[in-house]
Amino acid sequence: MLNIAHRGASGYAPENTKASFDLGIKMGADYLEFDVQRSRDGVLVVIHDTNVERTTDGSGEVRDRKAAELLKLDAGSWFSPEFKGERILTFSQVLDRYNGKAGMLIELKSPSLYPGIEQQTAAELAKYPLADKVVQSFEQESMKNMHRILPDVKIGVLMKFRPLGISSAMLRDISEYAHFLNPSKKLVSRALVQKIHALGMKTTPYTVRNREAVSFLKKMEVDGMITDYPDYINEIR
């Protein structure tokens, strides 16, 4: 059961910061999940929203701000005064700091906003061992492209809730290039997990925020969970 810390231990510390990632590792996470976008001047940065308002003291779109401006923002005070001064990290900083300490589940956030981000991500990743790295996105064309560019890195496809579920044809198409299908936990059933496994993929649903979800997903025999609370997963391992 893979324990994947969602933006770090983001139930306890401000998401996508050193504080959150460090705590995720301390709590025994196997992987750190985080989001990658690009600054106006072409630097890959780690932040979830396409604008900075929710998680920093700044304003504006990530893609409209230079990296030097983004890295000066306070990315911790919104969560709690004790985290004042936490900063947005660059992708390079995260790779340097956490390579070898935990695996990485790297989400390309809205990659269609950033033409060429797959090539840029691949160039950064190629400097490191790839066995414990996974790149994922909701945008399937981006992940097909990522697979072509860097075939040695594992690919994940994120799937939002769909009232009609995921068709067998869609699952087969995804299995041609992806190693993981990571759906909303609301989509998960034993039958879906079995179909994913039959196609040679694994599944680590998102986002687990309570122990009831942990218990349910364990019964569904998923391969891991993406969670704000890594300690919850360790309780059942």
pTM check: above 0.85: yes
Reported as a pLDDT band with limits 50, 70 and 90, residue 22 is very high
Mean pLDDT value across residues 213-217: 98
Mean pLDDT value across residues 215-233: 98
Res 90: pLDDT: 98
CA distance 149 to 64: 27
Domain of 86 in residue numbering reads as 2-234
Domain containing residue 224: CATH number: 3.20.20.190
Contact 153, 133 (CB under 8 A): yes
Mean pLDDT value across residues 103-127: 98
Average pLDDT of the chain is 98
Residue 237 has pLDDT above 90, yes or no: no
Residue 12 has pLDDT above 90, yes or no: yes
**Considering 48, 147, 179, 197, which one is annotated as catalytic?**
48
CA distance 73 to 145: 32
Catalytic site residue 179? Answer: no
Mean pLDDT value across residues 122-130: 98
How many structural domains is the chain composed of? 1
Residues 62-107: tens digit of each pLDDT: 999 999 999 999 999 999 999 999 999 999 999 999 999 999 999 9
Kindly tell me the burial class for residue 219, based on how many C-beta atoms sit within 10 Å of its own C-beta (0-12, 13-18, 19 or more).
Answer: exposed
Mean pLDDT value across residues 12-39: 98
Catalytic site residue 48? Answer: yes
Mean pLDDT value across residues 39-58: 98
Residues 189-214: tens digit of each pLDDT: 999 999 999 999 999 999 999 999 99
Distances (CA, A) of 209 to 148, 156, 201: 34, 21, 24
Mean pLDDT value across residues 17-45: 98
**Considering 6, 147, 179, 197, which one is annotated as catalytic?**
6
CA distance 57 to 88: 11
Mean pLDDT value across residues 22-29: 98
